[in-house]
Structure 1
Amino acid sequence: MSTSRPGNGHDPDHDSDLDDESPLSDPLTALGLNADAGEGGHDEAEDEEDGPVREADLAVIEAGSRTLRAGGPVPQEDDVPGRPADPELDKALREVETELAGRWPETKLEPSLDRMTALMDILGEPQRAYPSIHITGTNGKTSTARMIEQLLLAFELRTGRYTSPHVQSVTERISLDGRPIAPETFIETYRDLLPYVEMVDGSQPHRMSFFEVMTGMAYAAFADAPVDVAVVEVGMGGSWDATNVIDASVAVVTPIALDHTDRLGSTPGEIAVEKSGIVKKDATVLLAQQPVEAAQVLLKRAVDLGATVAREGMEFGVVHREVAVGGQLLTLRGLGGEYEQVFLPLHGEHQAHNAVVALAAVEAFFGIGSEHDRTLAIDTVRTAFAGVTSPGRLEVVRRSPTVVLDAAHNPAGARAAAGSLADAFGFTHLVGVVGPSGDKDVRGLLEAFEPVFTEVVVTQNSTPRAMDVDELAALAVEIFGDERVQVEPRLDDAIEAAVTLAEDQGEFSGAGVLITGSVITVGEARLLLGRK
């Protein structure tokens, strides 16, 4: 094991039905749906890490980035914002972030909807001003949410999307019409809500948490826009998650695996009990492929509430996928029929499964089922999927050598990412840069990546939750062996070391770098590599 320790590490400062006035009142005719229904047949690497709000010293990261950009970032449209260019606006946003950071972080929970219910009541129930699609699961929530959003936008609906955590800027968590909320709007929404939040703080045993305030801001921003539909991802679990004050007509459950076992349960079935809490009476429930015991729990909840269930592999599924330049080409069977020649510019088989779940969710939202013998307009569906992005999910950010980011932070996510690398990239020598949080199953994460990493550089991000690099190194040596492990406490040094190891293999060696282990690590790496 080789070790490099600079004098200073990172700065340590730093988880309803449509109403009669809706334009969706007659969706099948209004949206150009066709009657050419076909017949057909059939985990995401990136469940969102429920991390606290980050106040990373971006100056440290920005300074380190100057030495890492020589290879050139891959040019592409990027919808992940950096800091505001206006110094006064940036200062105001930082002040809001500091105030939010003074509340309970996402890692500290008091399972209750009392505070959220009280806030929504004071605000006049803004979350009921629009229909919602609610998404839970362990892996794949954010990618699925972004695909659902793109489909809805393609059908000319105004959308609000709420996801967590953020990759680079807290404003990413609340999106309007497919773009992160403007910093000015974020600040204004927070300041408008603060008096009401303080009223709730004073009336409850505990103050509202960071995530609860953010959720309230999202629901208020969506009502103020106003949006035609909200796409909402849970933060953790489902039953008592702060988002679960909505009454969504469509509930989506992405693959369930073991994560947050100290809070949600130690088996897929126990975790499914919590996640099934987003299923509401008479809703439509879309189930991605699930462990048997999780599926049983989810189906029972649906039956008890009279909900309609559609299951991947039964009522909808991936019929065919093939790797294509820049992504994959899919044939998907939705609830109403088959969709051929759908290009998805994301890598990995798990993303194909996310895509068909998203497609079925939007079909369900528009009232399409197998009995209708109709599909969404195929050209619109193709256009929507072709425009999907998912930053930090098998995302190529540099060439020569190829550097890929993936926010896998649990064993299931790592296995999905590792399995996707071979068909998407064909690396013959892959160097891993791993910087996980200490409260995750880090051994399981490393074991999932061991078969595909030739070498691994262990490091840490700038947050207090980062796993101690010496503990991480000791664990990595157990799994990879001493000769395959290098230690670089600073993330910028770790990336540079990994790039050097890949370059040493030669220009045409098939060598590459994967940076992974945490959404926070990936977000900081994006900044270091010039992605803003």
Structure 2
Amino acid sequence: MSDFPLAGAARLAETIDEVEDALLSRWPETKLEPSLDRIEAFTDLLGRPQDAYPVIHLTGTNGKTSTARMIEALLLALDLRTGRFTSPHLERINERIAVDGEPLDDEAFVRAFNDIAPYTHLVDAEQEHPLSFFETVVGMAYAAFADAPVEVGIVEVGMGGSWDATNVMDAAVAVITPIAVDHAKYLGSTPAAIAVEKSGIIKAGSIAVIAEQTPEVAEVLLARAGEVGARVVREGLDFGVVSRVAAVGGQVVTLQGLRGRYDEVFLPLHGAHQAHNAATALAAVEAFLGGEEPLGDEVVRAGLGAATSPGRLEIVRRSPTVVLDAAHNPHGAEATAAALEDSFRFSPLIGVVGVMVDKDAEPLLAAFEPHLAHVVVTQNSTERAMPAEELAAIAVEVFGEDRVTVVPRLADALDAAMALAEAGEALGDPMGSGAVLVTGSVVTAGQARTLLVRRDREVTA
């Protein structure tokens, strides 16, 4: 029996702040008990809303959110009603649950919480452990999508696959973005071990859309598909990126889909990794719809042309330019670093880096070292943030003492970095075309976004 405070579990909320407070009083996303028992019991009480619509389910190590948002954009271009669940959020909790491409507004989010709140304490009372923050939000999303109602759900796992709380439905399409090492404590220390857990979203009768993987990861995923009788389509064999050219505001891509080739499509996102995400999203939509006819150039151009992915090489300020990127593991940092080289010509580029204490900071910093003239080490405001001084000790080993500044408060770190970027001449660039990259964590990028957008509003007010 749980010692969770049951009296507060069913309390109805009047404001978004009250919803967030109620959710945060539950087990945090970082506290895991690998089991689907609680979420199964919860969704059973809710009437299994996740069975009311077909689902495209996504897992992988990096690229899940961007790919989910591109799938959504393509489906909206086809005039289908969509529900999208992604995590974590960048700035506001509402971002996790979107209908027709728009996050639930505060009133709708409160309503979604109140619809499921009376059932949370019933699960808490019957289970060994209470419903977690993440399980509760998953239940909210599934119920909100059924109430809308949506024609297709686009659901990103929180972590892993098999025992992730989202995995209480049989998705029509399972999307596996590139798998590398992250969350090793929970998922395993090798890509192949992690792939075993993530392959759990591939279900009998589904179509598995597999992005480019290492041979050992591909072997695991193909074995799972064979076991359950799922059809497989693979990047590089059945679909892929034919060509890409960097362009102002993004890139121009030619993609080979499952049913046709789509030439010279503008994608307003930067980096080769986003082109590959777009190819995966396109294949997922084609697999979901079935049939033999191509989607049509107009649909693909409209869908991908409208795609956004906040916090992923997102320019949020000019003079100096400030770019936000949520890279939080070595694999993601390498993709971001390659995109910086490919799409931008900043000199000097100053880094603002804040990571979580459970992340492998050294290889993440090493991926950025060739691209950053200087790094300002900081920390975000969460309890999981690695202390700036601790991160600085690692950064000095990578960058050298002369290229590292420690500024623990994020707002001050942004100011310090922007001053360094503006003083490009002092760092050897007489043109002064400096810029700032804020990275290391979704939370760091999100908090920086909030700070910078608020400043701009205050300046223009």
Alignment TM class, shorter chain as reference: over 0.9
Q: Partner of 1:488: helix, strand, or coil?
A: strand
Question: Which runs of structure 2 are paired with 1:99-248 in the superposition (5 Å)?
Answer: 99-248=22-171
1:427 is aligned to 2:350: no
Q: Which amino acid aligns with 2:174?
A: A
1-structure distance, mates of 2:89, 2:63: 15
**2:347 and 2:424 in contact (8 A); partners too:** no
In the alignment, which residue of structure 1 is the partner of 2:189?
266
Structure 1 residue 450 corresponds to structure 2 residue 372:
no
What is the deviation of 1:194? 1.1
CA–CA separation in structure 2 for the residues paired with 1:99 and 1:483: 46
Q: Does 1:515 align with 2:434?
A: no
Amino acid paired to 1:397: V
Shift in Å, 1:428: 2.8
Counterpart residue identity of residue 182, structure 1: D
- CA deviation string 1:331-360 (max 9, x = no partner): 000001100121000011100000000000
Q: Does 1:415 align with 2:334?
A: yes
| Structure 2 unaligned regions, length at least 5 | 1-12
Question: Structure 2 CA distance, aligned partners of 1:423 and 1:133?
Answer: 31
CA separation in 1, counterparts of 2:333 and 2:121?
A: 40
Deviation at 1:408, TM superposition (A): 0.2
**Partner Cα separation in structure 1 for residue 376 and residue 286 of structure 2:** 44
User: Aligned residue for 2:6?
Assistant: none
1:180 Cα deviation (Å)? 0.3
Q: Measure, in 1, the Cα distance between the counterparts of 2:19 and 2:45.
A: 22
Answer yes or no: is 1:491 the counterpart of 2:424. Answer: no
Q: Secondary structure at the match of 1:476?
A: helix
Contact 2:90–2:446 (CA under 8 A) maintained in structure 1:
yes
The CA RMSD measured in Å over matched residues stands at: 1.2
Query: Which amino acid counterpart does residue 50 of structure 2 have in structure 1?
Result: Q
Please state whether the residue corresponding to 2:284 is helix, strand or coil: helix
Tell me which of 375, 381, 399 is aligned to 2:294: 375
Report deviation, 1:320. Answer: 0.5
* Rounded Cα–Cα distance in structure 1 between residues aligned with 2:14 and 2:379: 27
Partner of 1:440: 359
Q: Tell me the equivalent position of 1:295.
A: 218
1:473 and 2:392 aligned: yes
Q: 2:3 corresponds to which residue?
A: none
Q: Secondary structure of 1:120's match? A: helix
Which deviates further from its counterpart, 435-444 or 126-135?
435-444
In structure 2, distance between residues paired with 1:123 and 1:438: 36
Aligned with 1:513: secondary structure? strand
Q: 1:520 and 1:470 mapped to 2: Cα distance?
A: 18
Partner-residue secondary structure (3-state), 1:320: strand
User: CA offset at residue 426 of structure 1?
Assistant: 1.6
Residue type at the aligned position of 2:310: P
Corresponding residue for residue 230 of structure 2: 307
Deviation at residue 439 of structure 1 after TM alignment = 0.6
Secondary structure of 1:217's partner? Answer: helix
The Cα shift of 1:390 comes to 0.4
Judge which range, 174-183 or 420-429, deviates more: 420-429
CA distance in 1, matches of 2:393, 2:381: 20
- Shift in Å, 1:285: 0.5
Deviation string for 1:78-137 (max 9, x for gaps)?
Answer: xxxxxxxxxxxx972111111111111110000000011111111111000000000000
Instruction: Provide the secondary structure at the position in 2 that maps to 1:499.
Output: helix
Structure 1 residue 310 displacement after superposition = 0.5
Alpha-carbon offset, residue 510 of structure 1: 3.0
Letter in 1 for 2:107: E
Q: What CA distance in whole angstroms lies between the structure 2 residues aligned with 1:95 and 1:488? A: 33
Q: For the residues of structure 2 that align with 1:435 and 1:91, how far apart are their CA atoms?
A: 34
Distance 1:367 1:258 in 2: 33
Whether the 8 Å CA contact 2:14–2:110 is kept in 1: the answer is no
**CA separation in 1, counterparts of 2:212 and 2:422?**
39
Which structure would you say has the larger RCO, counting Cα contacts within 8 Å and 6 or more residues apart? 1
* Per-residue CA distance 1:484-515 (angstroms, 9 max, x = gap): 00011111110111111010115833321100
> Matched residue of 2:379: which SS?
coil
Cα deviation for residue 444 of structure 1 reads 1.4
Distance in structure 2 (CA, Å) of the matches to 1:500 and 1:316: 45
Instruction: Point out where structure 1 has 5 or more consecutive residues left out of the alignment.
Output: 1-89
Find the residue that maps to 1:108 and give its secondary structure: coil
- 2:449 alignment counterpart: 526
Deviations 1:18-38 (A, max 9, x none): xxxxxxxxxxxxxxxxxxxxx
Structure 1 distance, partners of 2:14, 2:307, is: 32
Larger helix proportion, structure 1 or 2? Answer: 2
Tell me how far apart the structure 2 counterparts of residues 141 and 214 of structure 1 sit (CA, whole Å): 18
Question: Which of these residues, 158, 173, 177, is aligned with residue 250 of structure 1?
Answer: 173
SS at match of 1:110: coil
- Distance in 2 (CA, whole Å) between partners of 1:320 and 1:479 is 34
* Structure 1 letter corresponding to 2:235: E
Match of 1:335 in 2: 258
CA distance in 2: counterparts of 1:303 and 1:197, whole angstroms: 37
